Chains A and B, each alone.
Chain A
Amino acid sequence: MSYLDHAATTPMRPEAIAAMAAQFGDVGNASSLHTAGRRARRVVEESRELIAGHLGASPSDVVFTAGGTESDNLAVKGLFWARRTQDPQRVRFLTSAIEHHALIDPLMWLGTAEDAQICQVGVDPNGRLDLEALAELITHDPDSVAAISVMLANNEVGTIQPLLEVVAMAKAHDIPVHTDAVQAVGQLDIDFSCLGVAAMSVSAHKLGGPTGIGALLLGRSIEPTPILHGGGQERNVRSGTLDVPAIAGFAAALDAAMNDRVERNARVSALRDDLIARIQRAVPDAVLNGSPILDEANRLPNNVHFSFPGCQGDALLMLLDAKGIECSTGSACSAGIAQPSHVLLALGASQTAARSSLRFSLGWNSTQADVDAVVESIAPAVERARLASGTLIDHA
């Protein structure tokens, strides 16, 4: 089996499994005042410090959540509500056209339920934010901007976004910026305080931790309005009993990911470069999506994303799956229905091209054999898939 869908979820690090296993047998609510509670609380706080340390944040910045989707929802809704409460004219929310659905959908909900005005900024053909367009949207009427959210690295095509520039623009008008860093954390060197964002979403299972745990890194400049009210845990921003084993696993995974980050990235990006070059040789008309500049300032080291003209992505996926190669047509969707990717459409791809794409994403345990398996299977699969799509009724 060649697992090349690490951007969907990556195998747990042995360190994370060990850290979690060490906690499962112990009792203790981290909010309890007795010895068992204090023990659990200590694990949580040590984990919080470890996570904060690796991400350039202070421990009190780390608000544990159930994962990336909750972090994005809390940031988007919480920042919007808090900022509009301070000043009712702040109704605009600026964002990019290539965000994950965990960010887009709460924003669209704010648009319909709360009369927020959502402004999406386009990207260039490589998937990088159009900074001039963003600047125009801000300076047009800065006082009406509630917040800005731009992802750190795109989950489909891996393009790194110019976040420092975004923050600089926003800072001139004291507008808070949130970033969805779910794909970037563990791969890139991120310093929350240097970045200057008000909030940053992190998910554990993308970096070798368990699913169901993540964090919103949250500075002290603004307190978002909570979504979950209750026992007042996590700065009263996110109530709910803390999941001690998951938090320990999250911290251990991030620790492992950051400790071997440089050498791992060198190895993974070499595999990535080899995979790109050999796919292009095997299928000469395949189109690489995202940034062609394969360095850490432009593209995630683990991301390979191609369009295969004349193919349907879902047919290719099925053919490769039958060969033991696991990849993705875009972001996974619960109903399994392949909508053409809004990210590729934003990059300027046609509907057809958007449906013809596959993402191969590498991870900490990827091997040369995984790459070789794809290279061996891709040309026959593309040929097959072209045959299959050619036989569909064509009324174009």
Chain B
Amino acid sequence: MTALWFTLLIPFSSSVLLGLFGQHPAARRFNFQAAAAAFAASVWLAWTVLQNGPIGGSSDSAGSQFYIDSFNVYLIVLTAFVGASTALFSQPYMARELAAGHVTEKRLRLYHASYQGFLFTMQLALSTNNLGVLWVAMEGATLATVLLVSLYRTPQAIEAAWKYFIICGVGIALALFGTVLLYFAAAQVIPDPEQALLWSELARHSAELKPVVLAIAFVFLLVGYGTKVGLVPMHSWLPDAHSEGPTPMSAVLSGLLLNVALYALVRLKILTDGSLAAHPDAHDPHLAGYLMMGFGLLSFIVAGLFLHRQRDIKRLYSYSSIEHMGLMTFAFGLGGPLATFAALLHMTVHSLTKSAIFITVGHAAHIAGTQAMSNIRGLIRTQPAVGWGLLIGTVAISGFPPFGVFVSEFLLLTATIHSQPWFALPLLLGLGIAFAGLFRHLHPIVYGEQPEGQEGVAVNMWPVAVHLVLVLWLGLAIPGFLAHWFDQATILISGQGVL
């Protein structure tokens, strides 16, 4: 429990501190130090959970408000890790933005406070046991990041932020409606109203929940949280918000926010499945799964096609994020141990790879002085570290062996052929489309003719290197404890393990 408090309170208090003193020059370093400390606390938390089993969820104490099992603890560690490494990257990046006059000291204070505030809401959403608090935290994440998207105050940035605010606001409102319906169903089974929104309680009673209500609630929740996942057709905020905000923000939005929203969906799918499976005559027991498969596949294909017509490099990779979130949603929807295992692995590797790519893209945009892909050329000659980083990152995200993305996609394909063979075709097709879409743009960026006078910039490639090495490692050999960990989570979600 102590470790959990540390994980939550470090980002919270540093958000407050940075809100007060964020313009101080030391704030950039403090931002990283706080994120690193939170990461250490999360590792401690993970260690405790792995040793002693789930934390919280008991029905008597105040601890019932939190529930940490092997599913969310690994996401907590991942969130803290990506948060810390992006904070490390943000130090030189924001210094450069400040020097270039894109931001002022005052906005930097806002930036740092929001960054930590965002990390806090993410950890709160992951660790809470209360579905109402989960909603509050998800909405809080929007509120914390919306002013970051408009940080540069350009008309485009304002537009992106407005879209982000409105679309996510409406989406999340629908999720609240779903939550109300869920509470309605729970209130008839669980007498204590304070307990009726606790996930652990709901999971215990899921077979008694009314399937009709749950089915309707899940549709609302899927559309609601699906907006935050970036599922097509509710995705239109995502490329805008990612491309117009500061690059560290794009990295954490892509690497963390989408994951957490998907996490919320999976938790709710478990409840819905529990209820529908107990009453097979009311609805198709796989309703939730089918819905997620449909939305996932649609997002996967549409985003893959959109990759081809992008001109802005950050938009390109945000569409790639939509594509991968679609893939994960499909995998969770498919259900079964193998697909679930693949989805969990994919969540990890995508998050690591995508944040690494966004970090590299931020440097590349600094080198070229623009985000327009037609003007970013010959990176590998100007600054080999950035060029190679972008190349390897893109290779990894496209699912080439020996990177981790390949493993998870391969596992997913295997699972698909096993249970729904016809879906393997669009999956393979989509992977091909996405691959072509990424590489037709990447080739000139990395290898093209280098414009005259293009010079390298001070970069910090350590986060990129660490992320990509981790992804490579996961591709070559998943460490035993991690595989065991994923397997635990798989058992939680799909009922049986792979190992």
Are both chains from one complex?
A: no
